[in-house]
Amino acid sequence: MKGKVYLVGAGPGDTKLMTLKGLECIKKSDVIIYDRLANDKFLKEAKEDCEFIYVGKKSSNHILPQDMINEVIAQKALEGKIVTRLKGGDPYVFGRGGEEAEVLYDEGIDFEIVPGITSAIGGLCYAGIPITHRDYASSFHVITGHLREDEDKEINWNALANCKGTLVFLMGIGNLKHISDRLIEEGRDPKTPVAFVSWATRYNQRTVVTDLENAYEVAQEKKVKAPSLIVVGDVVKVRDKLNFFENRDLFGKKVVVTRARKQSSDLSEKINSLGGKAVELPVIKIEKNDDTELRKEIENLRDYTHIVFTSRNGVELFFETLDDMGLDSRVFFGVKVCSIGAGTSEELMKRGIKADIVPERFVAESLFEEMKKTVKSSDRILIPRSENAREFLADKLKEICEVTEVFSYKTVIDEKSREIAEDVLKSDVDYVTFTSSSTVKNLVEIAGENYKELLEGKKLVSIGPVTSRTIEEFGLEVYKEAEVSTIQGVMDVLVNDK
């Protein structure tokens, strides 16, 4: 079988700036070869058995020399593999993509190029700088700042200085003095605005604005480092109005998400989409219990008047067992379905079940108050729930009628997080979010004796009163508690915390 190589532009960093075609290539590849500027989040999208090869690449510190990169690409394709060579930005903008493709041509290897959004344009956009603008620039030039001596001669500095268009230098930080000196010498106005955009489109994007004559000093002073774009031109002025990205609510904020790995994506996604960086430290893991008892009660469901779900997991596992038994939601016929809150109801809705009873506040106390209004002594209630959950609801309902609890699952510590917990908590995170009491207990357990020290200075955000109580029981301080006990409630705390 003949292999094939896709040279894919991954865009400037924000993973959502990858093209649909690029993503398609990642999903079908046997081998992915990537470097520092291609966001490694994409690797999650690859096939399970896909091979990943990191080939580094920092402007002056190539981990694999270019000819070896070329060789690896060719060799994998000749083995008959589908290969994606993932490159930051656009593959043909200073990425040596042209050379890589030529090697493939020479070797007779089938290839396709998937263009990407170049940092030279997309990166500027996220810094609030339009590369052209009718009032300021009617052309643009993208120039490499990483110049060999012979290349420097090739650049017509006089033309660049006098063209009035926007100049964007890539790989130029190390050569900044030379660049700004040459432009001024050749007649560019020393007061021309200059912007440095580092790690453009990522959560840690940083923009520094100055002018041409001060560019070098300011870059030194503000410690501007690669990868950065250098933008020279009046378009930089528009940034004051167009800087949408850095003005988002959570821009630059790092938030630890302690929910179970499987459930964290909802919160993480919300944080990331508002400009923050979700750091996932899943401290709980859901473990399914033996379902013999649950199966028995499902068979007897007709004898019950109510079924109560107190978590998304409870719903998910119930339906898994139902499915294994060859049954579906018709088993609920004649049974009132009660849900503790929004997330649980949503999970039920996904299966076409609209809960009959949902309390106003999403806690057990509130659900009990609501159920108390209609539950009679002749009723029978089934509660499939977590072994570790609170007893409150079952205990109170038992005072009224017959209640059967089935421990369909338990939450345990996610052992994988032990190794990373200390590093995560020692890093510069701003918030730690707790979405249940078990996230608190398990984080404390994982963090060990020094947990107070590790959490010092971090803002602890709680989803509701029960979780807050657990935080306080460990001698920690709740920074803020969500007004509504939902993931959105936690988000609201973060967003409104100015």
Cα–Cα distance for residue pair 381/327, rounded to 1 Å: 20
User: For residue 227, is the peptide bond before it cis, meaning its omega torsion is within 30 degrees of 0?
Assistant: yes
- In the complex with ligand SAH, the residue whose CB is nearer, 111 or 332, is 111
- Number of H-type helices and E-type strands within the chain: 20, 20
Give SS3 for 336: strand
Stretch that binds ligand SAH, among 194-202, 271-279, 392-400, 413-421 (CB under 6 A): 194-202
Sign of CA dihedral 393, 395, 396, 401: positive
Stretch that binds ligand SAH, among 85-93, 351-359, 470-478, 484-492 (CB under 6 A): 85-93
| Closest distance to ligand SAH from the beta carbon of 23 (Å) | 18
Quote the crossing angle between the two packed helices 66-78 and 97-107, to the nearest 10°: 40
Site string for ligand SAH, 223-242 (x = CB under 6 A): ---xxxx-------------
| Closest distance to ligand SAH from the beta carbon of 40 (Å) | 14
Residue 307 as a binder of ligand SAH (CB under 6 A): the answer is no
Q: What H or E segment, with its residue span, contains residue 106?
A: helix 97-107
Question: Could you confirm whether 57 is annotated as catalytic?
Answer: yes
Question: Could you confirm whether 171 is annotated as catalytic?
Answer: yes
Residue 115 as a binder of ligand SAH (CB under 6 A): the answer is no
Cα–Cα distance for residue pair 95/111, rounded to 1 Å: 17
| Closest distance to ligand SAH from the beta carbon of 339 (Å) | 44
- In the complex with ligand SAH, the residue whose CB is nearer, 173 or 383, is 173
User: Given its phi and psi angles, is residue 475 left (phi above 0), alpha (psi -120 to 50 degrees) or beta?
Assistant: left
Sign of CA dihedral 484, 490, 491, 493: positive
Stretch that binds ligand SAH, among 115-123, 179-187, 321-329, 403-411 (CB under 6 A): 115-123
Cα–Cα distance for residue pair 154/31, rounded to 1 Å: 38
Of 4, 18, 30, 35, catalytic: 35
Residue 170 as a binder of ligand SAH (CB under 6 A): the answer is yes
Residue 88 as a binder of ligand SAH (CB under 6 A): the answer is yes
- In the complex with ligand SAH, the residue whose CB is nearer, 34 or 332, is 34
Cα–Cα distance for residue pair 463/452, rounded to 1 Å: 20
Give SS3 for 256: strand
Q: What H or E segment, with its residue span, contains residue 425?
A: helix 416-426
Q: Which of 118, 258, 311, 486 binds ligand SAH (CB under 6 A)?
A: 118
> Which residue from 337, 311, 481 is spatially nearest to 390, judged by alpha carbons?
311
Give SS3 for 179: helix
Q: What is the dihedral of CA 62, 67, 69, 71, to 10 degrees?
A: -160
Q: Give the binding-site size for ligand SAH (rule: CB under 6 A).
A: 26
Residue 201 as a binder of ligand SAH (CB under 6 A): the answer is yes
Cα–Cα distance for residue pair 322/295, rounded to 1 Å: 8
Q: Which of residues 11-30 bind ligand SAH (CB under 6 A)?
A: 12-13
Site string for ligand SAH, 34-63 (x = CB under 6 A): ---x---------------------x----
Residue 90 as a binder of ligand SAH (CB under 6 A): the answer is yes
Between strands 193-198 and 206-211, the pairing is antiparallel
| Closest distance to ligand SAH from the beta carbon of 272 (Å) | 16
Q: What is the DSSP letter of 119?
A: I
Residue 192 as a binder of ligand SAH (CB under 6 A): the answer is no
Q: Which of 200, 382, 429, 455 binds ligand SAH (CB under 6 A)?
A: 200
Task: Please say whether the beta carbons of 451 and 311 come within 8 A.
Answer: no
- In the complex with ligand SAH, the residue whose CB is nearer, 228 or 442, is 228
> Which residue from 411, 471, 463 is spatially nearest to 435, judged by alpha carbons?
463
Q: Which of residues 459-478 bind ligand SAH (CB under 6 A)?
A: none
Q: Which of 25, 69, 82, 93 binds ligand SAH (CB under 6 A)?
A: 93
Of 171, 254, 277, 414, catalytic: 171
Task: Find where tokens 């930089």 sit.
Answer: 236
Question: Could you confirm whether 1 is annotated as catalytic?
Answer: no
Residue 394 as a binder of ligand SAH (CB under 6 A): the answer is no
Task: Find where tokens 């604005």 sit.
Answer: 209
- In the complex with ligand SAH, the residue whose CB is nearer, 85 or 259, is 85
| Closest distance to ligand SAH from the beta carbon of 37 (Å) | 5
- In the complex with ligand SAH, the residue whose CB is nearer, 26 or 37, is 37
Copy the structure tokens of residue 119: 């940092």
Residue 268 as a binder of ligand SAH (CB under 6 A): the answer is no
| Closest distance to ligand SAH from the beta carbon of 206 (Å) | 9
Residue 89 as a binder of ligand SAH (CB under 6 A): the answer is yes
Residue 119 as a binder of ligand SAH (CB under 6 A): the answer is yes
Task: Find where tokens 């038994």 sit.
Answer: 325
- In the complex with ligand SAH, the residue whose CB is nearer, 118 or 264, is 118
Exposed, middle or buried, 389 (CB in 10 Å: 0-12/13-18/19+)?
buried
47 contacts: CB under 8 Å, gap ≥ 6: 27, 28, 29, 30
Stretch that binds ligand SAH, among 61-69, 90-98, 210-218, 426-434 (CB under 6 A): 90-98
Side chain identity at residue 282, one-letter code:
P
Q: Which residue is nearest to ligand SAH (CB)?
A: 89
Catalytic residues: 35, 57, 171
Q: What are the residues binding ligand SAH (CB under 6 A)?
A: 12-13, 37, 59, 87-90, 93-95, 118-120, 123, 170-171, 197-201, 226-229
